[in-house]
Amino acid sequence: MTPAGRFAPSPSGELHVGNLRTAALAWLFAKSSARDFLLRVEDLDRARSGAEAEQLRDLQAIGVSWDAAVVRQTERAALYDEAISRLTADGRTYECFCTRREIQEAPSAPHAPQGAYPGTCRRLSHAEREIRRATRPASIRLRSDVAEWAVEDQLHGKYLGVVDDFVLRRNDGVTAYNLAVVVDDAAQGIDQVVRGDDLLSSTPRQAYLATLLGLPVPEYAHVPLVVNADGARLAKRDGAVTLGDLAAVGIPAERVRNLILGSLGLPAGTLRDALPEFDPTRLPTEPWVWITPRG
């Protein structure tokens, strides 16, 4: 398998310029390091009908291309089941019956970081578990034996973050993002993960899980997000931020692509033209402030 980078959007709506910039960066990272580039649709959750086609069209419009058929997570249940079965056989999972509220109200374990699962169901006796099974369906959690894990990031350096007993399968049967992403990256030969730095804090969990499953840990680059004039993460309500909205105010996809390249200190032109100039060590480390230009 050729080593690969990837973009893995959730088809919940149209991509905005922040998502498109992350995709362009992931493509530049992959292509400048002789990797293939793959596209994976993360449609286990939050999928909106029609969004996938719009997203693929917009990626192509700014010149992001992919080297193999698009993969969809909803078609890969067998792989996720197999990974969870393997962890279960190793005594690495347990059933959890906690509601969100119970988790919020539970006293946190000593030294446990804020927001970490307090471990309530980890300690249930067999009899208690039988009783709770009759009340609500269980989610499946990882039985983690570390509280933190370090990863190396190309932009952030060494990053140490929380690993708790995170959910692998939700109680509605949907595979959790953290499990699916680890299984898919390994199965697709992805050894370079470039994505928004809002996901950096999930990365120690993913790297730890990969290690437990005996899978290679990819290299990571978490890139700065795009923000609005107030410094808040860009969102649909910030006006014309999708290719569709921008085209409607007279700004075609090529111009958006050039603005993205300009924000990265790269010359206008196609993404391929920018490759010789692309140097990951010279990327801006601050968020890009997006102000919709005049058409």
Q: d(Cα 97, Cα 84) in Å, to the nearest integer? A: 18
Q: How many CB atoms lie within 10 A of CB 116?
A: 18
Q: Which is nearer to ligand GLU, 169 or 205 (CB)?
A: 205
Q: Which residue do the tokens 């894990």 mark?
A: 149
183-209: string of b/e by CB count within 10 Å (b at 16+)? bbbbebbbbbbbbbbeebebbbbbbbb
Q: d(Cα 130, Cα 83) in Å, to the nearest integer? A: 25
Least CB distance to ligand GLU at residue 18 (A): 11
* Pairing assessment for the beta strands 167-169 and 139-142 based on DSSP bridges: antiparallel
Question: Which amino acid, one-letter code, is at 269?
Answer: G
Least CB distance to ligand GLU at residue 97 (A): 27
Structure-block tokens of residue 134? 């009759």
Least CB distance to ligand GLU at residue 48 (A): 13
Q: Which is nearer to ligand GLU, 133 or 233 (CB)?
A: 233
Least CB distance to ligand GLU at residue 82 (A): 20
Q: Which is nearer to ligand GLU, 192 or 258 (CB)?
A: 192
Q: How many CB atoms lie within 10 A of CB 21?
A: 27
Q: d(Cα 229, Cα 237) in Å, to the nearest integer? A: 13
Q: Which is nearer to ligand GLU, 5 or 63 (CB)?
A: 5
Question: Which amino acid, one-letter code, is at 185?
Answer: D
Least CB distance to ligand GLU at residue 186 (A): 13
Binding interface with ligand GLU (CB under 6 A): 8-10, 42, 181, 195, 199
Q: d(Cα 289, Cα 172) in Å, to the nearest integer? A: 38
DSSP collapsed to 3 states, 149-163: EEEEECCCEEEEEEC
CB 234 within 8 A of CB 225: yes
Q: Which is nearer to ligand GLU, 96 or 183 (CB)?
A: 183
Least CB distance to ligand GLU at residue 44 (A): 9
Distance linking the first and last C-alpha atoms of the chain: 44
Least CB distance to ligand GLU at residue 181 (A): 5
Q: Which is nearer to ligand GLU, 9 or 118 (CB)?
A: 9
Q: Which is nearer to ligand GLU, 22 or 139 (CB)?
A: 22
